[in-house]
A and B are shown apart, each in its own frame.
Chain A
Amino acid sequence: MTNKEILEQVEQVLKEELDNADIVVTPKTVADDIEEWDSLANIQVIIGLERKFGIKFTAWQVNGFKNVGEICECIQSAQG
């Protein structure tokens, strides 16, 4: 999967889990940029991404995502 495809799918998961079809993300987007993306909704996002990509994030990753770009990198490396 290319970086662009991963980013698109991450955006899709965010739209679904945060229930807002207008969400647009770039690798630089952080949770604070999106109103619905609070710490509780983040749990939905994490589990939604795991489901979508068939992967498991580690506790370190869940703890440390700086921005959407890092999420995409984790997905990329988890998928090998």
Chain B
Amino acid sequence: MNFLQLKKNAKKDFSKYAHTRIKVAVLGDTPTQLLTTSLIGYGFEEGVSFEIYEAEYQQAVREIMNASSSLYSFDAAFIIIFFAAEELYKKFALTPLSKRPQFAQKQIELYETLVAAIEANTTSKVILFNFWQVPDNVFGNFGNKTQYSFTYQLRAINMGIMQMAANQKNLFVLDVDSLQNQQGYNARLNKAVYVNTGIVTNPDFLVPVAQNITRIILSVTGRFYKCLIVDMDNTLWGGVIGDDGIDNIQIGNLGIGKAYTDLQLWIKQLNQRGVIIAVCSKNEESTVKEVFEKHPDMQLRMDDIAFFAVNWDNKADNIRLIQAALNISFDSMVFIDDNPFERNLVRKELPEVCVPELPGDPAGYAGFLQELNLFETASFTIEDTVRNEQYKKEAERVKAKQIFTNEDEYLANLDMKAIVGRFNSFNIPRLAQLSQRSNQFNLRTVRYTEKDIEALATDSNYMVFDFSLKDKFGDNGLVSMVVLKKQENGFFIENWLMSCRVLKRSLENFVLNTLVEHAIKENVLLFTGEYLPTVKNAMVKDFYPSLGFIPAGNNLWQLNLNNFTPLKTFIKERA
């Protein structure tokens, strides 16, 4: 993809497409028009209509600090702040030498002030560009050894921005420094153009910039890839296991094997970060599993794989099998395979699955996939690291379920226990994450950030409940959340969501029973629920009537608690 393509996209009539609309403000200290064009054009590729507010350039600070600026009346969901290292350099050069060791700290204080002002005036999330390296070599390599150099201060600023972002939930960083590393300094900047126009980015460099901004925005709004499905032969190792045998496949530190080891090491790290890994391969299952168990150079092991779809059926069917076993949507899956035939088949049969066009040379696999940045995320908690384990358990449950012909008997046999939680600091990141990740079982698709949840905790008009579920196969962790809002005539269910991993376990019933119990203690006798349809949550269209709510018009449903009989559930509460 190049800038020209994005520019063509940007000219399209977006009103003809049923895109998600997202309001974005772009602020910079160099001209930002080309960036804006790229962003609108890239949004088209991802089914997003970006509605852009572009501040006059060099007005960024003024607009942010002025509470009544048109920036704030625009009411953006995201505010993008792009300060260029070239402008920073001018400022640095004008700073007296004696003050330069504090330059980074002063800049960080400025950014903190800006982010605080944004926070005070809006609920917008902020995407702040870090700074690409501009090596001036005033000190040569010695610049790494003295705080008086621009090199030293620029890197300190980038570190400072990371520290800010780690502490500020609404602040995200666009790592343009890494993008310049990837693309090259000269691919980013054309000096002759810069001198004449002040523009610091070549048009084609803006493609990965727009792509990465879009990925951040989509992941914050709940759209990101959760699962990587990998082929085996000539993708995870060189050669064909069925023909070559375990001793002859290429993997490890010798020769071409390194390419596959590199890819496996990367996949292993994705897995540790919480990306689910599944295998899809045309082979005998036992042959493939033997490699995972016995080959000394394999980086990925049995424990890392949530599901093995290894047989001779076509790969689209096998991905459907993975979908059913893990209960995640197709559009959260990435499938990698060296074979163009298989890639095309999957693209054709399952267009929602992301199927990257791998390069011909396996030496380029890892680098190519890394550059695509498919696994952007808006959050990370240490609990993510056990996610693969949870999905594996889920797949085992699916298998166990096939043994029981009677659903109730199966559920009773699971020995399920739930913990009903109210706020605690441990749960807040998990609740925020759950609200961002859940798309299907989500009645009103209200997304809560950690800050939102903290605010709800102290608001006496709200009650928030969370539910964790355990069974004999293991701990599912925090899987459901309900936010109740007090109204004159009872409780309004501001949102009710649940992880699809625990569908059809009678948890919904358990949740309602619990809510009713609490409501009655508070002398509340009416629940009002609302279903707000999205492209993804049709699953819960009839959720409220299925629980006995009666229609109250406009997608609203009501339940009178006076004559409520507890619903059937196989879950016991654990204190």
* Interface set of A (CB-CB < 8 Å, partner B): 16-17, 19, 39-40, 43-44, 46-47, 50, 56-59, 61-63
Contact = CB atoms under 8 A, between A and B. Distances in A.
Smallest CB-CB A-B distances: 9 pairs: A59-B195, A59-B192, A62-B192, A62-B196, A63-B196, A43-B193, A57-B192, A44-B203, A40-B33
A19 B202 contact: no
B197 A59 contact: no
A58 to B, nearest CB: 6
23 contacts: A19-B4, A39-B197, A40-B33, A40-B34, A43-B34, A43-B190, A43-B193, A43-B199, A43-B202, A43-B203, A44-B203, A46-B192, A46-B193, A47-B190, A47-B202, A50-B190, A57-B192, A59-B192, A59-B196, A61-B192, A62-B195, A62-B196, A63-B196
Contacts of A19: 4, 7-8
B193 A62 contact: yes
B3 interface: yes
A17 B7 CA distance: 10
Nearest to A46: B193
Contacts of B191: 59
Interface residues of B, number: 17
Contacts of A40: 33-34
Interface string B176-210: 00000000000000111101110100111000000
Contacts of B4: 16-17, 19, 44
Contacts of B190: 43, 46-47, 50
A16 B4 CA distance: 8
A19 B5 CA distance: 10
Contacts of A16: 4
B55 to A, nearest CB: 17
A56 B195 CA distance: 14
Nearest to B186: A56
A58 B192 contact: yes
A37 to B, nearest CB: 13
Interface string B54-80: 000000000000000000000000000
Contacts of A59: 191-192, 195-196
For A39, A43, A58, A59, the residue with the greatest tally of chain B CB atoms inside 10 Å of its CB is A43
A59 B254 CA distance: 49
Contact of B197 (A43, A56, A58): A43
Nearest to B202: A47
A47 B196 contact: no
A46 B3 CA distance: 14
A63 B33 CA distance: 20
Contacts of B192: 46, 56-59, 61-62
A19 B202 CA distance: 18
A44 B4 CA distance: 9
A43 B199 CA distance: 9
Contacts of B193: 43, 46-47, 62
Interface string B521-547: 000000000000000000000000000
Given A16-B4, A43-B199, 7 more contacts: A19-B7, A40-B33, A46-B193, A57-B192, A59-B192, A59-B196, A63-B196
A5 to B, nearest CB: 23
A59 B191 CA distance: 7
B285 to A, nearest CB: 50
A44 B7 CA distance: 11
B209 to A, nearest CB: 15
A58 B8 CA distance: 29
Nearest to B197: A43
A68 B3 CA distance: 23
A19 B195 CA distance: 26
For B33, B191, B203, the residue with the greatest tally of chain A CB atoms inside 10 Å of its CB is B203
Contacts of A63: 195-196
Interface string B1-44: 00110011000000000000000000000000110000000000
A69 B531 CA distance: 65
A41 to B, nearest CB: 9
A63 B194 CA distance: 11
A56 B192 CA distance: 9
